[in-house]
Structure formats: structure tokens, C-alpha cells
Amino acid sequence: MQVAVSCTSPLLQKSLELFLEKHLSSTSRADIIIRDEQCLENNKCFYISAHESADLKKPFSKSQLILALEQKYRLLHPQNQTTSAQETIKSQESMDFFILEKRIKSLTQEYQANILRTVKAFYEK
């Protein structure tokens, strides 16, 4: 997914550029163009505002932005949906496994420290 940012607000422009640095592209090559002014003539336009008609309402988080852009991309490119969905699932599974692995490692180290503390306390008496 390639995204271009064209906002009148410099703060929103810079924030979006930081959030989407991996997906940034020129306006001519972009799949989606993010704007803070409504544009009805272009179906690639993604409107961010506080209005009810916006594709994404302010305030928003980075994850809300990414999810909304992915949804818009799926609407614009339904033929790419299966491969991107599979990639998303794989990356989510690997991320979940990584988090689980770190949690297990942390719990194991904590358990080991508790056992050693108990053994030392027993023999010091």
C-alpha cells in the first residue's frame, strides 16, 4: 500500500508522514491520498477531519489510522485482498508468538529467581 499525504495543516502533515514513513509515496504513484480537505472527485482520496463525513475522525491513534487505510485499500483493490490478508495474519501470528515467547522467558526467570532465593534462605538458617 502506497500513501501520499497532502494536508493544509502542517502539524497533521508531519504527524501523518511520521506515522506512515514506510508507506509514503508520491501523489502520482500512491494508492491512497490523505487529505484534511474533502475531495469528492477522487476515489483515492482519504479524508481526515472532525466532521461526520470523514473517513477517519480526529483525534485518532496510529493503529486507527493504519486500520482505516487498510480498509480503504481493500475497497479500492479487492483483487489484492487475499494476499495482503494472508500476510497480515502471518505477521500477526509471528508477533503474537514473539510476545508470548518474551512473557514465558520473563516468567521463567522470575520463577528461577524465586527458587534460588528460597533455597538460599533455607540453607542460611
**What does the pLDDT read at residue 38?**
86
**What does the pLDDT read at residue 34?**
92
With H, G, I as helix, E, B as strand and everything else as coil, classify residue 29.
coil
Rg (CA), the chain: 23
Q: What percent of the chain has pLDDT over 90?
A: 22
Co-location of 63 and 85 in the same domain: no
Co-location of 55 and 86 in the same domain: no
Co-location of 26 and 69 in the same domain: yes
Q: What is the pLDDT of residues 68-84, one digit of tens each?
A: 888 888 888 877 655 55
Q: What is the pLDDT of residues 24-34, one digit of tens each?
A: 988 888 889 99
CB-based contact 18:10 (threshold 8 Å): no
Look up the pTM and report it. Answer: 0.59
Co-location of 8 and 61 in the same domain: yes
Q: What is the pLDDT of residues 54-66, one digit of tens each?
A: 888 988 888 888 8
Co-location of 57 and 87 in the same domain: no
The one-letter amino acid at 40: L
Query: From the CB of residue 98, how many other CB atoms can be counted at a distance below 10 Å?
Result: 10
Co-location of 69 and 100 in the same domain: no
How many domains is the chain partitioned into structurally?
Answer: 2
22: domain range? 3-76
pLDDT tops 80 at residue 89: no
What are 116's strand-pairing partners?
none
Co-location of 11 and 48 in the same domain: yes
CB-based contact 68:54 (threshold 8 Å): no
Q: How confident is the model at residue 87 (pLDDT cuts 50, 70, 90)?
A: low
Q: Minimum mean pLDDT among 31-45, 86-100, 108-122: which range?
A: 86-100
CATH of the domain at 8: 3.40.50.2300
Calculate the alpha carbon distances from 106 to 22, 35, 51, 102, 118 in Å: 31, 44, 45, 6, 18
**What does the pLDDT read at residue 11?**
92
**What does the pLDDT read at residue 83?**
54
Co-location of 91 and 35 in the same domain: no
Co-location of 14 and 41 in the same domain: yes
